[in-house]
């Protein structure tokens, strides 16, 4: 049996699927390492250590590293400070409208980062930002009080959009926590705040650290917000630097080798963090309170804190969802940018919405539908056996598998998509053949939750889609990016509003489905 470190015949298919998944994950990552030792045409250039020498010797790289660290740490801290109390409030308290929180966070998650960046630029640009201008007029200031084109500005915008992943990691932990500890604290006279700080938070510590690592590694590789808010003022992080190497080179080939060398360095850091993450998961088994065996307690009353908590949550959603969406909607009706005024409203047009369809037809929407149906299926089919092996089996080396599964998250998507491009050239038929032979007999509600999460992520994925799509396979978020790139920002905004609308419908339908499948605490 697996528990004895051996693989029985019954478990053989699980192990095969898990290992196939590991191979699928490793292939592009190994390709990244391979490309990093090359200059010239990727895969056909000459082997060299020059890329790594440049990584080590270029002071620009160190500046970028510092920026990336500050950006990732700041965004992670902000996301966790907001997500932890939010997850606890939704899971354990009588916060008003808490059932809608997960749903609204899904909406935050689904809006591509570059559109959130665009929204914030329109609100807080020092020269034309709507909020900045309002503040200048209101307080008679000489210059804009806030500059969103700064490291702190992009950290703020990114932190807001990273709350959903942290929330979705922490929410089940608070939900499954044994309530007898809370009740003991209350019986000892501890207040709700003290109970949260001294009981709930320590109990959730491993999950908090795991969420922190996940969000930190994610923010290390994020591209869109830094591209919109940092790039113009030369505040580079890893991802925008790689973009600079890959997309801005003219007259010569893009520096994929150098980009891959930086990507590989990030991968090594990620391996170290993943190892630590694995240790935490191992240790967390000692925290019997989070195994789901404990008794689920009654909902805690927030009492006088209820209004305050609701206000804080509302402010978050106004900042992370309502304001960027309002700006996008406003932008989507304009023929060209105008500050809000009667004149601007009188120039509103539906032309941008019509253009979204007339430019590409329904193809991007159809492809997006196919993508969000197939990608979650494939991911769940591969991830399920991997998770089972890591969490439930005693198979030797299972934490290595876990570490590997964690890796793609950390590799900038630009690098990953380039690697995938080359693998696609080498083995066009291999991957589909392997996947076709896999069947999924156990599609349970928990898996459905994972399916939903991946569906949202694949729905809003831009970078990979842009790099790997072709004439017949362009998807909706990639189309938005293309419109933005072609100096058609108002069409892009119209498409983004449509994307959000479709996401809303999708989530409503899926939420109903999940409710029917009765996953407590799910969407």
Partner 1 sequence: MGNLAWLRWLGVGAVTVAVLWSPTRGLEAGQANPKLADMIKKAAQEGEVVYQGPDPATGLPTDQMLRDMEAITEKYFGVKIRVKVDNALSFPASATKALTEIKAGAPPTFDLMYQTALSGAPLYKEKVIERFPWTEIFPHIKSDDMEYGGLALINQTLFVLPAYNKNVVKAQDVPKTWDQILAPKWKGKLGILIYPDPWLLLSQPTAWGEEKAFNYLKKLMELRPKLGRFPEVHERVVSGETPLAWGQHRERTLSAKEQSGAPVEVAELADPPLLWVNILFVPKGARRPNAAALVAAAMLTNEGQDHQLKFQAASSMFSPGTPAAKFAAQRKVFRPDVNFVVEKGEQLSKKVRSFMVAK
Least Å from the CB of residue 184 to partner 1? 55
Least Å from the CB of residue 506 to partner 1? 23
Residue 186, token pair as written in the block: 């209350």
Least Å from the CB of residue 61 to partner 1? 10
Residue 142, token pair as written in the block: 């000489």
- β-bridge mates for residue 93, sequence order: 300
Strands 46-47 and 38-39: antiparallel
Between CA 248 and CA 454 the distance in angstroms is 31
If binding is defined by CB under 8 A, does position 488 make contact with partner 1? yes
Among 231, 262, 388, 453, binds partner 1 (CB under 8 A): 231
- Site stretch for partner 1 (CB under 8 A), options 165-173, 233-241, 314-322, 504-512: 233-241
Nearer residue to partner 1 within complex by CB, 232 or 303: 232
Contact 251, 139 (CB under 8 A): no
If binding is defined by CB under 8 A, does position 422 make contact with partner 1? yes
Least Å from the CB of residue 153 to partner 1? 14
If binding is defined by CB under 8 A, does position 37 make contact with partner 1? no
Applying CB under 8 A, the site for partner 1 has a residue count of: 58
Q: Which long-range contacts (CB under 8 A, 24 or more apart) does 137-145 make?
A: none
If binding is defined by CB under 8 A, does position 499 make contact with partner 1? no
Question: DSSP assignment of 119-151, as one string?
Answer: HHHHHH-TTT-HHHHHHHHHHT-SS-S--SSSH
Nearer residue to partner 1 within complex by CB, 140 or 251: 251
Nearer residue to partner 1 within complex by CB, 166 or 483: 483
> Which of 28, 401, 404, 70 lies closest to 216, judged by CA?
70
If binding is defined by CB under 8 A, does position 220 make contact with partner 1? no
If binding is defined by CB under 8 A, does position 489 make contact with partner 1? yes
**C-alpha separations of 170 from 78, 194, 285, 449 in Å:** 15, 19, 16, 14
If binding is defined by CB under 8 A, does position 131 make contact with partner 1? no
Evaluated on CA atoms 508, 509, 512, 518, the torsion sign reads: negative
- Site stretch for partner 1 (CB under 8 A), options 92-100, 199-207, 316-324, 346-354: 346-354
If binding is defined by CB under 8 A, does position 127 make contact with partner 1? yes
Residue 327, token pair as written in the block: 């700006």
Least Å from the CB of residue 286 to partner 1? 48
If binding is defined by CB under 8 A, does position 361 make contact with partner 1? yes
Least Å from the CB of residue 28 to partner 1? 15
- Any residues with CB less than 8 A from the CB of 146 and at least 6 apart, and which? 124, 126, 129, 131, 132, 135, 153
Least Å from the CB of residue 201 to partner 1? 39
Between CA 285 and CA 305 the distance in angstroms is 33
Among 20, 116, 270, 469, binds partner 1 (CB under 8 A): 469
The single-letter DSSP state of residue 397 is T
Question: DSSP assignment of 296-344, as one string?
Answer: PPPPBP-TTHHHHHHHHHHHHHIIIIIHHHHHHHHHHT-SS---SSHHH
If binding is defined by CB under 8 A, does position 147 make contact with partner 1? no
If binding is defined by CB under 8 A, does position 246 make contact with partner 1? yes
**C-alpha separations of 34 from 69, 101, 366, 517 in Å:** 26, 44, 35, 45
Least Å from the CB of residue 216 to partner 1? 25
Nearer residue to partner 1 within complex by CB, 99 or 426: 426
Interface residues toward partner 1, by CB under 8 A: 41-44, 60, 63, 125, 127-128, 149, 231-234, 236, 244, 246-254, 256, 335-337, 349-351, 355, 358-361, 421-422, 425-426, 465-467, 469-472, 474, 478, 482-489
């Amino acid at each position: 049996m697996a528990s004895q470190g051996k693989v029985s015949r019954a478990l053989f298919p699980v192990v095969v699927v898990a290992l196939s998944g590991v191979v699928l994950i490793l292939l592009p990552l190994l390709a990244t390492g391979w490309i990093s030792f090359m200059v010239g045409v990727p895969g056909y250039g000459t082997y060299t250590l020059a890329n790594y020498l440049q990584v080590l010797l270029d002071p620009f790289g160190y500046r970028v590293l510092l920026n990336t660290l500050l950006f990732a740490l700041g965004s992670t801290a902000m996301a966790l400070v907001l997500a932890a109390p939010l997850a606890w409030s939704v899971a354990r308290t009588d916060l008003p409208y808490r059932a809608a929180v997960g749903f609204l966070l899904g909406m935050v998650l689904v809006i591509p980062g570059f559109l959130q960046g665009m929204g914030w630029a329109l609100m807080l640009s020092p020269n034309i930002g709507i909020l900045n201008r309002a503040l200048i007029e209101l307080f008679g200031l000489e210059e804009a009080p806030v500059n969103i084109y700064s490291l702190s500005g992009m950290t703020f915008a990114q932190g807001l959009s990273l709350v959903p992943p942290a929330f979705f990691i922490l929410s089940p932990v608070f939900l499954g926590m044994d309530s007898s500890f809370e009740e003991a604290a209350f019986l000892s006279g501890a207040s709700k705040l003290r109970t949260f700080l001294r009981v709930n938070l320590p109990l959730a510590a491993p999950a908090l650290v795991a969420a922190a690592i996940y969000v930190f590694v994610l923010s290390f590789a994020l591209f869109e917000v830094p591209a919109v808010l940092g790039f113009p003022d030369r505040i580079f992080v890893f991802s925008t630097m790689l973009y600079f190497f890959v997309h801005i080179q003219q007259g010569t080939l893009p520096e994929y080798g150098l980009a891959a060398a930086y990507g590989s360095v990030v991968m090594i850091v990620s391996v170290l963090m993943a190892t630590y993450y694995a240790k935490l998961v191992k240790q967390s088994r000692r925290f019997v309170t989070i195994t789901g065996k404990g008794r689920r307690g009654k909902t805690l009353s927030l009492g006088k804190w209820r209004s305050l908590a609701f206000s804080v949550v509302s402010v978050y959603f106004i900042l992370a969802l309502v304001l960027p969406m309002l700006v996008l909607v406003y932008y989507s009706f304009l023929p060209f940018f105008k500050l809000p005024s009667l004149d601007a409203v009188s120039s509103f047009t539906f032309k941008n919405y019509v253009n979204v369809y007339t430019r590409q037809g329904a193809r991007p929407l159809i492809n997006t539908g196919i993508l969000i149906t197939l990608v979650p299926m494939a991911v769940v089919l591969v991830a399920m056996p991997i998770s089972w092996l890591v969490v439930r089996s005693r198979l030797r080396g299972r934490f290595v598998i876990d570490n590997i599964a964690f890796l793609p998250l950390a590799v900038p998507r630009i690098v990953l998509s380039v690697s995938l491009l080359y693998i696609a050239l080498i083995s066009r038929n291999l991957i589909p053949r392997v996947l076709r032979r896999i069947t999924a007999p156990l599609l349970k509600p928990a898996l459905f939750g994972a399916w939903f999460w991946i569906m949202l992520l694949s729905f809003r994925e831009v970078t990979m889609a842009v790099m790997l799509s072709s004439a017949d396979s362009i998807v909706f978020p990639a189309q938005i990016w293309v419109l933005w790139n072609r100096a058609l920002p108002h069409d892009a905004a119209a498409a983004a509003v449509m994307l959000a609308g479709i996401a809303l419908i999708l989530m409503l339908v899926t939420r109903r489905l999940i409710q029917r499948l009765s996953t407590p605490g799910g969407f």
